[in-house]
Amino acid sequence: MVGLLSWLWLLPLAGALAVVLLPSRWAYLSRWATLVLTLVQLLLVVGWVLPAVGTGTLLGPTPATPMPVAFYETTPWLRLNLGSLGTLAADYALGVDGANGLLLLLHALLMPIAVGASWQEGRRPRTYFALLQLLNATVVGCFLAFDFLLFYLFFEVMLLPMFFLIGGWGGERRAYAALKFFLYTLLGSVAMLVVVVGLPFAQAGVHSTTYQALADPALRAPGAFYATPYGQQVGFVLLLIGFAIKLPAVPLHTWLPDAHVEASTPISVLLAGVLLKAGGYGLVRVAYGFFPAAGQALGFWMALVGVVGIVYGSLVALAQTDFKRLVAYSSVGHMGYVLLGAASGTALGLSGALYQLFAHGLVTAALFLLVGVVYDRVHSRQISAFGGLWQRLPRYTAVVALAFFAGLALPGTASFVAELLVLMGAFGATTDVPLWLAALALAGVVLAAVYFLWAFQRMFLGPWRVAGGADWEARLTDLSPREHLLLWPLVGLILLFGLWPALGLGPITAWVAAFFEASQTLLAP
């Protein structure tokens, strides 16, 4: 039976259908309908799901899992009888726990913000908002899924609305960027597909695809490919390819700058704020969840990829002349911390990685919105085209300053907590992450400060100077009420979760502790 949790993704799906079916003279209603539905979704998450995650109360049937789950619902979905090969059993299993609770909040928060940022979208609004809702439904499904096949389904369907949103409502080279995004991420998905078709068959008897069954080493038949250390490392690397492309990790990141530059502001917000996080979430939940021992064994390589991402992303961000590309590359850099934290093999590092997903989602959403503010007004994002903006746009400058400080992980912001935890984890790594890698990651923090502060200096400080002359001067007005409404909740949450980290870290650390306990059987030498 469809339980209450299902409504979190069925509601947007219904919204997509409703918007498409609106008659053309009521097309303007599509944005209102979408806004209302996303706000209802946010309300459901904040008022009903999150309190349960915070207290760890279990609502719904008890899942057969050792992990603390706040919500869980399951119903048999597919029973694929393959004769002598046995039966592949996929369940429609959804759940919320410490690992995905905050991400659900992040997504539910960014959806109405993206709708607000799309308020002026005049090009085919019905299709646009329908696709936005479809994206919404698939992202929620992806975060909620507690079954690998179900997760895979949502993870891949997510690409379709995103492809059309970039390709249909983007900039000049949108077709190229959209296809590049789709091809790259699909390549990652099919690497994952190899594990989808293989891993369930490592179990003797019924081949279940639920997280719980796939993660349980006791269920794997001795001698099965994925029961061997080598097989586990292969599986881990295949999953890693899928999630590293999505994250993105250097050197699989090249689709990201193109996609961001061509995508419109709200789409960038969702892409960087939520979709990349699905990659990081999958890395923790699926790759580490199924093959913790392999993750442990490959700790050095994971950390290396992460640190290369941090340093390379930051260096390239330093060299950007386009404000949006700078933010895009800063995303690449910051996602490196997720890999590093997970690679450390410590509870601190893993908690930091999960917290970084949440914190960076807030920060990067704010940053992309802020890029959109100047781009909407003068259709230029060149850093060199602006100077001394603080003189005429003080409120804008204030929000940018806060977001930049959050970007460079200043104490008091959520990203500081996340990156601190990751670095603490890296320095105390239980895996073979060497100290010099952790130290390099620390240098990445300094680099982030350099590019953010340098960009701030060039664009906002000094004498007033804009490239477009009087025309631009007239158009460069300070934040509108709508923009205030979109930005301040993000800034507020960045500060709230920075000053009161226990609020978000509580469920995460509880989950991480349980995760390490559950995977101890595998981690034991």
Partner 1 sequence: MGDFLAQLAPDLALLAPELVLLGGICLLLLVELGLGRRRPGLVWALALGVVLADGLALALQVGQSAHVVLTGTLRVAPATTYLKLLAAGAALLWLWAAPESKLLKTRGVGAGEAWVLSLGLLWGVQLLVQAQNLVLVYLALELVSICSYVLVAYSRAPGPSAEAATKYLLYGGFTSALMLYGFSLLFGLSGSLQLLPEVYAAAPALQLGVATGLALAGAFFKLAAAPLHFWAPDVYSGAPTWVVGLLATLPKIGAMGLLYHLAVGLAPGLGATWPLLLTGVILLSWSLGNLLALQQTHFLRLLAYSSVSQAGFLLLGPALNTPTGWAAAFFYTGVYVVLQLGAVAAASYYERCSGTLVFEQWRGLGRSGWGWALALGITLVGLVGLPPTAGFTGKLTLLLPLWSAYTTTGAGLYLVLLVGAVVFTVVGLAYYLKPLRALAQGGGEGRTDAFVPKLALVVALTAGVTLALGLLFFDTCVAWLTQVMP
Contacts with partner 1 by CB under 8 A lie at 20, 77-85, 88, 124, 127, 152-153, 156-157, 159-160, 163-164, 167-168, 175, 179, 182-183, 186-187, 190-191, 193-194, 196-198, 201, 224-225
CB of 179 or CB of 385, closer to partner 1: 179
Measured from the CB of residue 207, what is the shortest distance to partner 1 in angstroms? 9
- The torsion region of residue 470 among left (phi > 0), alpha (psi -120 to 50) and beta comes to alpha
Q: What are the tokens at 29?
A: 């209603």
Measured from the CB of residue 200, what is the shortest distance to partner 1 in angstroms? 9
* Per-residue three-class SS string for 149-163: HHHHHHHHHCHHHHH
Sign of the torsion formed by the C-alpha atoms of 106, 112, 115 and 120:
negative
Please check whether residue 352 is in contact with residue 434, taking contact to mean a CB–CB distance below 8 angstroms: no
Measured from the CB of residue 75, what is the shortest distance to partner 1 in angstroms? 12
CB of 79 or CB of 395, closer to partner 1: 79
C-alpha to C-alpha distance for 326 and 328, rounded to whole angstroms = 5
Helices (H), 21-147: 29-44, 50-55, 98-117, 125-144
Q: Which residue's structure tokens are 């997720």? A: 338
Please check whether residue 247 is in contact with residue 279, taking contact to mean a CB–CB distance below 8 angstroms: yes
Measured from the CB of residue 85, what is the shortest distance to partner 1 in angstroms? 5
CB of 78 or CB of 383, closer to partner 1: 78
CA distances from 286 to 1, 148, 173, 278 (A): 25, 8, 34, 11
C-alpha to C-alpha distance for 260 and 324, rounded to whole angstroms = 7
Q: What are the tokens at 255?
A: 């689709």
CB of 3 or CB of 168, closer to partner 1: 168
CB of 229 or CB of 411, closer to partner 1: 229
Measured from the CB of residue 225, what is the shortest distance to partner 1 in angstroms? 5
CB of 62 or CB of 84, closer to partner 1: 84
Q: Which of 122, 446, 109, 440 minimizes the C-alpha distance to 277?
A: 109
Q: Which of 412, 445, 215 minimizes the C-alpha distance to 340?
A: 445
Please check whether residue 229 is in contact with residue 294, taking contact to mean a CB–CB distance below 8 angstroms: yes
C-alpha to C-alpha distance for 205 and 147, rounded to whole angstroms = 18
CB of 159 or CB of 505, closer to partner 1: 159
CB of 29 or CB of 401, closer to partner 1: 29
Measured from the CB of residue 198, what is the shortest distance to partner 1 in angstroms? 5
Q: Which of 309, 311, 453 minimizes the C-alpha distance to 383?
A: 453
Measured from the CB of residue 191, what is the shortest distance to partner 1 in angstroms? 7
Please check whether residue 321 is in contact with residue 467, taking contact to mean a CB–CB distance below 8 angstroms: no
Give every CB contact of residue 394 below 8 A, 6+ residues apart in sequence.
478
Measured from the CB of residue 82, what is the shortest distance to partner 1 in angstroms? 5
CB of 175 or CB of 467, closer to partner 1: 175
Measured from the CB of residue 199, what is the shortest distance to partner 1 in angstroms? 9
